[in-house]
Structure 1
Amino acid sequence: ATLDYTTVYTGGGGDGELVKLQLDTTKMTWQVTYVESPIPATTGTVVPTRAGQTASGTLTQETLLPTKKLNQCAFRLNGASLDPNRPARIFVGEGVAGGTIPGAE
């Protein structure tokens, strides 16, 4: 029903990044720590990568999905998307989190 930063979800994406995700559904905040990353920290460079960096922001409970159950377990990661028309979303349930790793250019 609620999450705080003591619950850490660890996983990765097809881009080769390994991240730790933490959500606080009372404070409505999120934090992602990039454990390993081939993604450059700065546009036009190769190193350093985002490894070791932390990104954070606020959460918004999702309301635009087709069912009440989907909306209950979905959150928007405000400030995490490069395209405002495609918000970064995280779905949480049954001990698993899935969705978007915040982007980079």
Structure 2
Amino acid sequence: MPLTNVLDEQDMKKLKSELEDCGCIGIDINNYSSPDYSVLRFHRIGMGMYSFRLYDYPLTHQQQDSINANECLIVYNDSTVFEFGGGIFGVQYFVGKTEFLKDLH
């Protein structure tokens, strides 16, 4: 169902404004390739894209460990994951991941 069928025009404008204010540059909701989470894209550096994955359910510790094993993903909490997509050029891993995980724990 398109978002325009859920929100009226005023609510759509408010949502768009608030997402722009926090730096959101794109949204993937109910994407056929990743039905368990939605993605908020918030920052691009060159070809690289930084995003948040917002899961529809709490991740188990096993799922979190599996996600953290991916060099492009960082589990923030039981339903939020930071994601880095390197694009065609540049690094293909989340720069600063090791330091971030040390500070988080």
Q: TM-score range by the shorter chain?
A: 0.3 to 0.5
TM-score (norm 1): 0.35
TM-score (norm 2): 0.35
More helix by share: 2
More strand by share: 1
Computing the radius of gyration over CA atoms, which structure comes out larger, 1 or 2? 2
